[in-house]
Amino acid sequence: MTDARWPAAEPLETARLRLVPLRAHDAREMSMVLDDISLHEFTGGRPDTVDELRARYGAGAPGWLNWAVRLRATGEAVGTVQATLAHEDGRPSATLAWVVASGHQGNGYACEAAAAMAVWLRRRGVEILIAHVHPDHQASIGVARHLGMDPGAAGSDGEIRWHLSRRTTSA
User: For residues 48 and 83, is the Cβ–Cβ distance under 8 A?
Assistant: no
Q: Which pLDDT score is estimated for 79? A: 96
Question: 127-157: b or e for each residue (b if 16 or more CB lie within 10 Å)?
Answer: bbbbbbbbeebeebbebbebbebeeeeeeee
Instruction: State pLDDT tens for residues 5-18.
Output: 788 999 999 999 99
Q: What is the CA radius of gyration of the chain?
A: 15
Within a domain: residue 17? yes
Q: Model confidence at 168, in pLDDT bands (50, 70, 90)?
A: very low
Query: CA–CA separation, 121 vs 111, rounded Å?
Result: 15
Task: Name residues whose C-beta falls within 8 Å of residue 76's C-beta, 6 or more positions apart in sequence.
Answer: 70
CA trace torsion 98, 24, 94, 45 (10° rounding): -50
Q: Which pLDDT score is estimated for 134? A: 93
Q: Is 25 helix (H, G, I), strand (E, B) or coil?
A: helix
Q: Model confidence at 128, in pLDDT bands (50, 70, 90)?
A: very high
Nearest alpha-carbon partner for 2 in 100, 86, 123: 86
- Number of structural domains (the chain) is 1
Query: CA–CA separation, 11 vs 31, rounded Å?
Result: 21
Whether 169 has a pLDDT exceeding 50, the answer reads: no
φ and ψ at residue 132, rounded to 5 degrees = -110, 115
Q: Determine the residue type at 149.
A: M
Q: Percent of the chain beyond pLDDT 90?
A: 65
Within a domain: residue 170? no
Number of alpha carbons in the 13 Å side-chain half-sphere of residue 157: 9
Q: Determine the residue type at 12.
A: L
Structural domain including 134 reads 3-165
Within a domain: residue 117? yes
Q: What is the pTM of this model?
A: 0.89
Q: What CATH number does the domain containing 74 carry?
A: 3.40.630.30
